Amino acid sequence: MAPGLERANSRAAACKPGNNSFTGDTKVLLGDGSAKPIDQVRVGDEVTATDPRTGITGTRRGAATVNDTGVKVLVDITIDTGGGTVTATDNHPMWVDSRHAWIAAEQLRTDDQLRDPAGDRHAVRRVVPRTEIATVHNLAVDNLHTYYVLAGGTPVLAHNNACEIFTNTMPDDLAEELAIADRLGVKPVTPGTAAFDDIIDSGIVKWAVREDGILVIVPKDIDGVGEIAHSVLTRGAPVRAAGEASIGGNAQIGYFGLEITNHSGHFLPSLESLQIGLEAFAAAGVRF
């Protein structure tokens, strides 16, 4: 298996509830500016959330709580501001403003810049992993899917990694769409294959990240026939994200992303759809 695919598959495993969480004493920033331990946050509590791509910050309702007990790889993340520390499971995504990306806790580096609600940055000073039996906690947050946890007294932005999925909004058209694709021999392909290079060389592609975290693409158009439906990517099954992209290069010289969107009529996008796509392509060696 190609390294990019291996990383992509590891992200799919990381999407299971309970795998991405914080220890119970981790404080969460509430909508009124106060904070409470995550194991005391209840459904309906309002938390402070941010869309890091736009910088828009507001309050969002906690839609669900997730708890899990077992052997966990915990990561103590210490920042420069007051020497504050927050403890997350190894795969929990933290927003790194200096890289403009969600980065798993275990992959944080010294001097990575975490973000607070005012947009100020706080440098990572130490990342120390340990393994122990622990009960960990996560939140599902409406709409923005983010919340702030306190490293000492400093709130830093975390993803709730809710693994939201989107169903096909045009099920009545599915049989015809699949019949057209089957007749033309159009099949979804994954990174690391010769067919992947052939499809990106043909022009704009349609992409989807399946429920299992695997990235798949098909050509957007077939000359003389017309457009291939997004539903073909999963044969109508739900997705975590979908859109369109233009990509240059190939496996020999490397890939470079030209343009990516979360446009899809079959799988309506959320605020995080584009980020999920960017991460899936980056894991396959394609950066936009």
All structural domains of the chain with their residue ranges: 15-159, 171-283
Supply the pLDDT for residue 83: 96
Among 137, 112, 115, 133, CA closest to 53: 115
For residue 234, the tally of other CB atoms under 10 A from its CB is: 20
Supply the pLDDT for residue 49: 95
Q: Cβ distance 214 to 12 under 8 Å?
A: yes
pLDDT, the chain, mean: 88
Supply the pLDDT for residue 93: 87
The CATH architecture to which 15-159 belongs is Beta Complex (2.170)
Supply the pLDDT for residue 89: 94
CA distances to 37, 125, 189 from 17, in Å: 19, 28, 27
Low-confidence ranges of the chain (pLDDT < 50): 1-14, 16-17
CA 234 to chain CA mean position, Å: 19
Supply the pLDDT for residue 162: 56
Supply the pLDDT for residue 6: 34
Q: How many residues does the chain have?
A: 288
Supply the pLDDT for residue 271: 59
